[in-house]
Structures are given as structure tokens and as C-alpha cells.
């Protein structure tokens, strides 16, 4: 599929590459001293931040099924671990999005990579930003994805909607961000990557 000039993709690309007078304060991981796998090496993973090309762009998110061993019922970007056959993080993100929600790789105009994030489960996640046409019909992988929805980009990137909270976990306070949109609770690594994206893009309509 050949893409014509895309002002949204160009704006996102420029915002990702922009130099800031003061470097943004980014969230590096769920815990400052988060443990990785037993060998101390995090598992590489990638997610697709799919932005819809409409006058008021949105971001595609999924709700995981309740039967998954990890992250059951949580809100997430399409994505997963980077397999040996994947050429790079972008290839992994596109493959996972195709497997999970039926988003064909050729339907995505890649924009660039955002800031990596380390999860408490030992994954080092590379967000990959791309632009897609609005109102695509998705085909869900029922064993992994219970629902797919679109949340306004302006809303999730607005710092006023980023609520920091904490919970006691394994005898210590774990701080994390939540973003509440309609009846969806976006939290944990997904919210943290959106917070980082907000601070990196400094997005304005």
C-alpha cells in the first residue's frame, strides 16, 4: 500500500524527533530497581501505538481477555515479545497487531520509535508509533483480546488526565499512573508509556 503525504504522520514524526530545551522527565520502569528474568536480562518486547488519521486523532487500545496468565483483563496496546524471526521492534509490533486484532502491516504508516519502558514482569517494551486510517474493522483473536476501542489522542496525552497513585505490593509502595476514559481504566505500563509519549511529544492540536 502506497501512502500519500500524511500531515498527521509528519507532525508525529517531527514531534518525536524534536529537540527540547529541557529533556523530558521520563518513566523508565514499573519500579526503579525492577528485577528482570532470572539471568538478569529483560525480555525484548514491542507494542504498536496506532494513531487514527482523523481531524481529532485517536489511539487504538485493546482489553485483554480475563483468561490470560499475565495482564488478564487489562488495557494494553497491541503487542508482545520480539521473536527471533522479527527483523526489529517495528516488525514485531506489526506482527503482533496483525495476530491480535487483524491489523494488516500494510495498513500502518510507521512514524518512529518512542521511549522504552521496563515492566515489573521483566519485559523491556519498545513502543512503535504508526498512523492508520480511521474506522478500520478489526478481527480480534478471541483467546487474547476481549475488545478493541479508540481513545482520543488529545485526552490520553493531556497531563491533566494522568493521575499518579500507589498501592502496597510485596511490602512496598508501588507508584503508577492511571488514565480514566469513559468506563475504561488505563493503568500500569500502558498508562506509563502514554505519559512518556505525552512528555516526549508535547502534543498540541
Q: Determine the average pLDDT of the residues in 58-82.
A: 84
> What is the pTM (predicted TM-score) of this model?
0.89
pLDDT digits (tens, 9 = 90+) for 76-114: 999 999 999 999 999 999 999 999 999 999 999 999 999
Positive/negative CA dihedral, 164, 21, 19, 55: positive
Q: Is 102 part of a structural domain of the chain?
A: yes
What's the structural domain count of the chain? 1
Q: How far is CA 129 from CA 8, 38, 62, 77, 193, in A?
A: 12, 30, 16, 11, 11
Q: CA-CA distances (angstroms) from residue 12 to 8, 19, 116?
A: 6, 13, 17
Q: For residue 98, give the CATH number of its domain.
A: 3.90.79.10
Q: What is the pLDDT of residues 155-165, one digit of tens each?
A: 999 999 999 98
Is 21 inside any structural domain? Answer: no
What is the rounded distance in angstroms from the CA atom of residue 142 to the CA atom of residue 139? 9
In this prediction, residue 204 has a pLDDT band, given cuts at 50, 70 and 90, of low
Residue 87 lies in a domain: yes
Residue 7 predicted with pLDDT over 50: yes
Beta bridge partners of residue 118, listed in sequence order: 29, 124
- Domain-located, residue 178: no
Amino acid at each position: 500500500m502506497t501512502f500519500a503525504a500524511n500531515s498527521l504522520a509528519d507532525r508525529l514524526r517531527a514531534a518525536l524527533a524534536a529537540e527540547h530545551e529541557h529533556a523530558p522527565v521520563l518513566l523508565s520502569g514499573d519500579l526503579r530497581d525492577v528485577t528482570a528474568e532470572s539471568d538478569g536480562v529483560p525480555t525484548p518486547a514491542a507494542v504498536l501505538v496506532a494513531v487514527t488519521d482523523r481531524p481529532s486523532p485517536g489511539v487504538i487500545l485493546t482489553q485483554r481477555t480475563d483468561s490470560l496468565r499475565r495482564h488478564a483483563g487489562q488495557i494494553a496496546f497491541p503487542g508482545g515479545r520480539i521473536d527471533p524471526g522479527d527483523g526489529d521492534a517495528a516488525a514485531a509490533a506489526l506482527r503482533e497487531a496483525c495476530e491480535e486484532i487483524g491489523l494488516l502491516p500494510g495498513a500502518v504508516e510507521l512514524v518512529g520509535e518512542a521511549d522504552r519502558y521496563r515492566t515489573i514482569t521483566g519485559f523491556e517494551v519498545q513502543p512503535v508509533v504508526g498512523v492508520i486510517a480511521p474506522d478500520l474493522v478489526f478481527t480480534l483473536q478471541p483467546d487474547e483480546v476481549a475488545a478493541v476501542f479508540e481513545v482520543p489522542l488529545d485526552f490520553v496525552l493531556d497531563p491533566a488526565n494522568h493521575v499518579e497513585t500507589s498501592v502496597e505490593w510485596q511490602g512496598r509502595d508501588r507508584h503508577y499512573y492511571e488514565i480514566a476514559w469513559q468506563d475504561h481504566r488505563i493503568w500500569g505500563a500502558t498508562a506509563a508509556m502514554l505519559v512518556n509519549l505525552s512528555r516526549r511529544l508535547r502534543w498540541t492540536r
